[in-house]
Structure 1
C-alpha cells in the first residue's frame, strides 16, 4: 500500500430552497417556548353589566367560486412570501367568502 499524499475532505452543501432564497439569508425561524405552569385567568373587566343573552351578529358570506379559491390562495402565498400579513389575510377572506364583495349596496 502506498501513500497518496494529503487529501482534503470536501463538505457537501445543499442547494437553498425557493423559500430560503425569497426570504433572504438572515431569516430566522420562530421557536415556541412552552411552559407547564398554569395560572388562573383573572380580569377586572366583566360582561355582567349587559342584561340578558345576546346573539351574535350574522357575518355576511357569499358563494365562493373556484376562481375565488385560486386567487385567494395566490394572495395568501404572496403575503407569506413578502411577509405582509394583511395580504395573506385578504387571501384567506377571499377563499372563505367573507371579504365583503357584493355586500355593499351602491346608490347612484
Structure 2
C-alpha cells in the first residue's frame, strides 16, 4: 500500500456507564463503604442531537426553562427514552 493512501476504519462502538458514589448519612464515627448509584444514559442519535438543539432554541426564545432543559437532556441521552418497558401480549 503506498504511503499516500490511508486506511479508513471506524472506531469500535463503546459505551461507558456513569456512576456516582454517594456516602451513607450516618454519624461521624460510623465507617461504611459508599453506595454506587447507576445513572441511565443512552447514546443519542444525530436526530436526537438536532431535535434537542431546536427544542433548546425554542425554550430559550419563549423563555421556558423546562423546555430548554428537555432539549439538553435529549441531546445528552439522559431524557429517559427507552427506559419504559411495555407488556407485549396484554
With normalisation by structure 2, the TM-score equals: 0.61
Matched, 1:48 2:22: no
Distance in 2 separating the partners of 1:51 and 1:70: 47
Q: Where does structure 2 lack aligned partners over 5 or more consecutive residues?
A: 1-24
Indicate the structure with greater strand content: 2
Matched, 1:97 2:77: yes
- Describe the SS at the equivalent of 1:58: strand
Tell me the TM-score normalized by structure 1.
Answer: 0.52
Is 1:62 matched with 2:45?
Answer: no
Point out where structure 1 has 5 or more consecutive residues left out of the alignment: 1-46
Deviation at 1:103, TM superposition (A): 0.9
Query: Across the two proteins, how many residue pairs are aligned to each other?
Result: 62
What RMSD, in angstroms, separates the aligned Cα atoms of the two structures? 1.7
Larger radius of gyration: 1
Question: Post-superposition, which runs of at least 4 consecutive aligned residues in structure 1 deviate over 2 A?
Answer: 47-51, 53-56
